[in-house]
């Protein structure tokens, strides 16, 4: 008999101490399991607290928190291009997306990515880019099931435990909430 859980993804403008502690625990759990954050070794609460507090200070980054039954268990970041990059202002980056291993299987990762996509589109971005290590099969399956297109593979993308790991690059065209659709045809 399965139990219904409360799944919430929200954009964080601040984090209280309890939320931060739960998020740090979830982050270290995801790092230990090998997925989604970029770090290879767990960082501990102090380093992760500094990291998340820093993220909240950067105007071009929005932090999204995934909660299971009210407890933070994952996050993702939406990175907008710098203001001096008008040529690529139509695109944003999804980065550092993960859900702790103990909170998986409820649809939170899918909801997390969907909320980031919705926010990016609402901000006027028409493309969402991301990259992922080749070893992260679950993330790759998720992104491809959500319509992301793999456009390239870097054979020396990362070093994990002394081994070189390839990485994949993806993009997704976002639905326009209003206005013209993005025309990606080559121009003469």
CATH code: domain of residue 102:
3.40.630.30
Residue 161 within any structural domain of the chain: no
Domain-embedded: residue 22: yes
Mean per-residue pLDDT, 69-95: 93
Residue 160: inside a domain: no
Q: Do 111 and 142 contact (CB within 8 A), yes or no? A: no
Say how many domains are in the chain: 1
Q: Is residue 80 part of a domain?
A: yes
- Report pLDDT for 37: 72
CA dist 96 → 74, 142, 184 (Å): 10, 14, 27
pLDDT, tens only, 83-140 = 888 888 899 999 999 999 999 999 999 999 999 999 999 999 999 999 999 999 999 9
163 within domain boundaries: no
In 10 A of CB 95, how many CB atoms?
A: 18
Phi, psi of 49 (to 5 degrees): -60, -45
What is the DSSP secondary structure assignment for residue 88, as one 8-state letter? G
Q: In which domain, by residue range, is 118 found?
A: 7-130
Q: Beta strands of the chain (E only): which ranges?
A: 7-12, 61-68, 71-79, 91-99, 127-133, 149-160, 163-173
CB-based contacts of 94, cutoff 8 Å, min separation 6: 76, 77, 78, 79, 113, 116, 117, 120, 128, 129, 130
pTM given for the model: 0.90
Averaged over 15-20, what is the pLDDT?
96
84 found inside a domain? yes
């Amino acid at each position: 008999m399965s139990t219904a859980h409360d799944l919430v993804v929200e954009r964080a403008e601040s984090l209280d101490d309890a939320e931060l502690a739960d998020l740090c625990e979830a982050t270290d759990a995801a790092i230990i399991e090998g997925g989604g954050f970029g770090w290879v070794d767990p960082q501990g609460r102090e380093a992760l607290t500094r990291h998340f507090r820093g993220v909240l200070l950067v105007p071009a980054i929005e932090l999204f928190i995934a909660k299971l039954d009210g407890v933070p268990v994952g996050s993702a970041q939406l990175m907008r291009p710098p203001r001096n990059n008008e040529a690529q202002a139509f695109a944003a980056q999804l980065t550092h997306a993960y859900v702790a291993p103990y909170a998986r299987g409820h649809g939170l990762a899918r909801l997390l990515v969907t909320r980031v996509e919705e926010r990016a589109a609402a901000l006027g971005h028409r493309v969402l880019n991301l990259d992922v290590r080749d070893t992260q099969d679950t993330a790759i399956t998720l992104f491809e099931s959500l319509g992301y297109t793999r456009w390239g593979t870097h054979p020396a993308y990362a070093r994990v435990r002394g081994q070189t790991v390839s990485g994949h690059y993806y993009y997704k065209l976002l639905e326009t909430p209003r206005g013209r659709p993005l025309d990606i045809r080559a121009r003469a």
